[in-house]
Amino acid sequence: MIFIISSCGELSMGESVQAGQKGETSLLEARDLHFAYGVGLPKVVRGVSLGVRRGTLAALIGANGSGKSSLIRLLGGLLTPARGEVIFDGAPLRSIEPRVRARRIAYVPQTTATVFPLTALEVVLTGRSPYTARFRFEDEHDRAIARDALISVDALHLAHRSVTELSGGERQLVALARALAQEPECLLLDEPSSALDLKHRAGLIRHLRRLRDERQITALIVTHDLQLLDPAFDQIFALRCGTMAAAGSPGEVLHDDILAEVYDDAHVRARQAFGRTFVWSE
Amino acid sequence: MQGCLTIRAVLICEITVSFNQKSKIKNQKSTGAGRRLPAALMILTVALIISACVALWVGYAPISLASLRTDETTRVLFFQLRLPRVLMAGVVGASLAAVGAALQALFRNPLAEPLTLGVSGGGALGASIAIAFGAGARVAGVPLVFLASFAGAGAAMLIVYRLARTSAGGVVLPGALLLAGVVLNFIAASGVVIIQYFADYSRALQILRWTIGSLDVVGFDLLWRMLIFLIPGWIVLLLMARDLHLLAIDEETAASLGVNVRRSERLVYAASSLIVGVTVAVGGTIGFVGLIVPHAVRLLFGEDVRVVLPCSFLLGASFLMLADALARTILGVGELPVGAITALAGGPVFLWLLRRQQRYSAM
């Protein structure tokens, strides 16, 4: 077993893992990404490379502060890497016009704190704005798509409620519906299930699988919910201190020793039961 | 007994009818903003015409149509004093209300407006410096006061924004934003007082007259000169309505939907500073128009910024025309500064919004 380094220093983490297959099958690809939030601030992403295959469900895991959110923002084009490049469908992401990108990649942030009492439907309709000209409003077609998006996350009953009155979990569902209304090829979700109850968590994963199987939609989600990963997910990327610590299928990554290193916790256990993997820390 | 029953039945009927109407209104509200906007604009245009007529009619001496046709003095009074003044009120009111709606969306803060963010204060300081050093001076045909006020407003907005924004997450802290605005207003106000103290007597009087804020104007010359600056500002704000609608929801969400956040922010800053600078240079600080009007529009026509922005523009014009008419007539002789009237109406609205907002988020 490897000696566990207890903090993120500038120490070498050993060779960084080259994750995922490259080439034609990758829809979203990161090539040696580096990022810091400002000049002189510590790098939060340090040389990450990964490839998310088209039509797969991938998870990004790692301890708090390991760079997951920064990485997913880089992959969504919300942050620009200091070094390295993001490739989407064979083209550099930064060469894609933002509104065109928004029709292909949808991103859901961890939290959205809207202060204006817009209705949930109005928020979901903003997902149609990449398709709408500057001085146009959404038409009946857009409204039908928005309504379908709300139905698919089991939140149609919230349509006319004000988002400022909704609970954290309900807001997450609305944000997710907004992303679905964008009709993207690729979904990037930052901890979409953190405030969801048991039923909606399972529902979310079921829906992502259905999107993958029926419409070939690729999704990458940041999550701490390791119970959800096996058997639904195809790929897992594990970050540690801004570098890729492990990558592979759930069967390859969800092991005591790998998770112990990723979470810097020797008490992590992963066990198979009922055809899935259970993970906990003792 | 029989009568009693019928009355009860009628009452119940009425209650059900009014309930049905209410739910109908609710449904109308929930239909597309696209359908709401034309209706809203029509209603507000009618309101604007009525307000303009009222504002033109009332005053130190009410003007009747008959005397307008026959009497030369009345005609001069009407065309040289009253009409320009009413138009000025409309232009300033529309400008301030539109800027308020834009800033609220940009900062995701319902309490933002030129006065509360210190932008008016900055503009006032800039303008009084210009007046102290020779108001008549022009740079390439543009009154120096406009430029100085624009610079002051722009600097204030930049300072407030930089202070309120956290470096890492890029979150604009609502409490810090307003506190910074208040303190900037204090600094600017003391700056104005110091300049007044050192300026010579006639200049000081000029500054005093102007800080009180008035829409007094003779002829149309000043109006045309203002519009050269204001119209581009208005166009930019209306062009940004869609981006502002997305920014009002969440900055990251807006960015992921294809909004170029930095560019939109810069354009809205520049346009807002320009508009506030010019209106402050002409009318002094007229507060809370940018707060009251957009919130009234929201209550009437919903939260969609693409509706709120153009509607605030129209309602703002009506609002300041009427407020100015009130300022001109309420005392009988002489007039109140219109800024006092808007502040008197706006202060309580601010406090009500503050109370409402605290339910949603900790300041």
pLDDT band at A5 (very low <50, low <70, confident <90, very high): very low
| C-beta atoms surrounding B46 within 10 Å | 12
Query: 3-class DSSP state for residue B291?
Result: helix
| E strand or H helix that includes residue A59 | strand A57-62
> Which residue(s) pair with A162 in the sheet?
A119
Q: Are strands A26-36 and A83-88 parallel, antiparallel or unpaired?
A: antiparallel
- At residue A225, the pLDDT reads 86
How confident is the model at residue B68, as a pLDDT?
A: 76
Q: Enter the ipTM.
A: 0.89
Q: Which residues of chain A are within 8 Å of residue B105 when distances are taken between CB atoms? A: 116
**Residue A216 within a domain:** no
A182 contact B CB<8A: yes
Chain B positions touching A109 (Cβ under 8 A) are 250, 252-253, 256
Give A170 or A13, the one with higher predicted confidence.
A170
What local confidence, expressed as pLDDT, does residue B330 receive?
Answer: 83
CB interface of A with B, residues 55-94, below 8 Å = 73, 76-78
The proportion of chain B whose per-residue pLDDT surpasses 70, expressed as a percent, equals 83
Contacts of A97 in chain B (CB under 8 A): 258
Closest partner residue to B30 (CB to CB) among A76, A130, A160 is: A160
Rounded Cα distance between B340 and A69, Å, is 49
CB atoms inside a 10 Å sphere around CB A86: 21
**Nearest of B190, B209, B188 to residue B198 by alpha carbon:** B190
CA distance B243 to B305: 9
Question: Residue B309: exposed, middle, or buried by beta-carbon count in 10 A (0-12, 13-18, 19+)?
Answer: buried
Q: ω before A231 within 30° of 0 (cis)?
A: yes
* Per-residue pLDDT, A19: 57
Point out which residues pair with A188 in neighbouring strands: A107, A220
Please give the pLDDT value at position A7: 54
**Of B11-15, B123-127, B219-223, which range is least confident?**
B11-15
Q: Do B258 and A101 touch (CB under 8 A)?
A: yes
SS3 content of chain A, % helix, strand, coil (to 5): 35, 25, 40
Nearest chain A residue to B249 by CA: give it.
Answer: A114
Nearest to B297 by CA among B36, B20, B34, B19: B36
Per-residue confidence band for B10, with pLDDT thresholds at 50, 70 and 90 = very low
Query: Own/partner pairs for B296-300, CB < 8 Å, 24+ apart?
Result: B297/B40, B297/B101, B298/A116, B300/B40
Tell me the per-residue pLDDT of A196-212, one tens digit each, with 9 for 90 and over. Answer: 888 888 888 888 998 89
Distance from CA of A107 to the nearest CA of B (A): 6
% residues pLDDT > 90 (chain B): 38
> How far is Cα A115 from Cα A110, in angstroms, rounded to an integer?
16
- DSSP string of B303-323, one letter each residue: S-HHHHHHHHHHHHHHHHHHH
Instruction: Judge whether residue B97 has pLDDT over 50.
Output: yes
Task: Note the pLDDT of residue A87.
Answer: 95
> Are the CB atoms for B98 and B312 separated by under 8 Å?
yes
Do A114 and B259 count as a contact with CB atoms less than 8 A apart? no
Element (H, E) at B55: helix B33-57
- Cβ atoms of residues B361 and B306 within 8 Å: no
The DSSP element (H or E) to which A279 belongs, if any, is strand A276-281
Say if the Cβ atoms of A182 and B257 lie within 8 Å: yes
Asked if B168 and A37 come within 8 Å (Cβ–Cβ), the reply is yes
What pLDDT, on the 0 to 100 scale, is given for residue A222?
95
Tokens of A146: 């928005």
Nearest to B248 among A102, A116, A127 (CB): A116
Least confident of A112-116, B118-122, B330-334, B347-351: B330-334
Taking phi over 0 as left and psi of -120 to 50 as alpha, with beta for the rest, B166 belongs to beta
Chain A neighbors of B108, CB-CB under 8 A: 113-116
Domains of chain B: 96-358 (1.10.3470.10)
Under a CB-based contact definition with an 8 Å cutoff, are residues B303 and B110 in contact?
A: no
How large a percentage of chain A has pLDDT more than 90?
56
Q: Is the pLDDT of residue B359 over 60?
A: no
Question: Once rounded to an integer, what is the mean pLDDT over residues B52-59?
Answer: 88
Is A50 a domain residue?
yes
CB atoms < 10 A from the CB of B228, how many? 12
Stretch among A21-30, A234-243, A261-270, B200-209 having the lowest mean pLDDT: A21-30
Contacting A with CB below 8 Å, chain B residues are 26, 30, 32-35, 37, 105, 108-110, 167-168, 174, 239, 242, 245-246, 248-250, 252-253, 255-260, 298, 302-304, 306, 357, 360-361
What is the pLDDT of chain B when averaged over all its residues?
82
| Type and span of the H or E element at A24 | none
The answer, yes or no, to whether residue B361 has pLDDT greater than 60, is no
**A45: in domain:** yes
Confidence band (pLDDT; 50, 70, 90) for B13? very low
Q: Does A179 map to a domain?
A: no
Inter-chain touch B256–A107, beta carbons under 8 Å: yes
DSSP string, A146-181: HHHHHHHTT-GGGTTSBGGGS-HHHHHHHHHHHHHH
Indicate whether B14 pLDDT > 80.
no
Q: Which residue has the tokens 């998310």?
A: A52
- Judged against a pLDDT cut of 50, whether residue B362 lies above it is answered with no
B149: amino acid identity, one letter? S
In a domain, A248, yes or no: yes
The pLDDT of residue B76 = 83
Residue B22 confidence (pLDDT): 39
Q: Is residue A47 part of a domain?
A: yes
Bridge partners of A31, per DSSP, are A85
Strand locations in A109-249, DSSP E? 186-190, 218-222, 235-240, 243-248
pLDDT at position B284? 84
Of the candidates B37, B252, B303, the beta carbon closest to that of A109 is on B252
The rounded distance, in Å, linking the Cα atoms of A61 and A247 is 10
**Residue with tokens 């009180």, as numbered in its chain:** B212
- Which structural domain range is residue A25 located in? 20-89+186-195+223-282
Longest dimension (CA), chain B: 85
- Tell me how far CA of residue A276 lies from CA of A194, A219, A250, A272, A273, in angstroms: 21, 20, 10, 6, 6
Q: Which of B236, B230, B348 is nearest to B283 (CA)?
A: B230
Mean pLDDT, to the nearest integer, of B241-252? 93
B320 within 8 A of B338, measured Cβ to Cβ? yes
How far is B42 from A175, CA to CA, in rounded Å? 34
Residues 211-240 (A) with a CB less than 8 A from some CB of B: none
Q: Which helix (H) or strand (E) holds A33?
A: strand A26-36
Across chain A, mean pLDDT equals 87
A130: tokens are 């990449």
A35 touches chain B (CB under 8 A): no
- B11-20, B296-305, B309-318: range with highest mean pLDDT: B309-318
Please state the length of chain B: 363
- B21 vs A177: which has the higher pLDDT: A177
Number of DSSP helices (H) and strands (E) in chain B, helices first: 16, 2
What is the reported pLDDT for B141? 58
Give, in order, the Cα–Cα distances in Å from B197 to each of B126, B127, B190, B228: 16, 15, 10, 33
The torsion angle over the Cα atoms of residues A80, A37, B117 and B147, rounded to 10 degrees, is -60
Cβ of residue A42 closer than 8 Å to a chain B Cβ: no
**By C-alpha distance, which of A184, A252, A270, A245 is closest to A4?**
A245
How many angstroms separate the CA atoms of B105 and B289, rounded? 16
- Provide the token pair at B304: 């969609």
- The residue that leads in pLDDT, A86 or B171, is A86
- Phi-psi category of B288—alpha, beta or left, where left has phi over 0 and alpha has psi -120 to 50? left
Confidence of residue B170 (pLDDT cuts 50, 70, 90): low
- Reported as a single tens digit per residue, the pLDDT across A68-114 is 999 999 999 999 999 999 999 999 999 999 999 999 999 999 888 78
Looking at residue B153, its pLDDT comes to 93
Mutate: best of B31, B257, B303, B358, partner A, most A CBs <10 A = B257
CATH code at A75?
3.40.50.300
CB B110 within 8 A of CB A113: no
Judged against a pLDDT cut of 90, whether residue B173 lies above it is answered with no
For tokens 């060779």, the residue is: A15
Residues contacting B87, CB < 8 A, separation 6+:
B220, B223
Best of B166, B173, B256 to mutate (most A CBs within 10 Å, chain A) = B256
How many structural domains does chain A have? 1
Q: Are A198 and A168 in contact (CB under 8 A)?
A: no
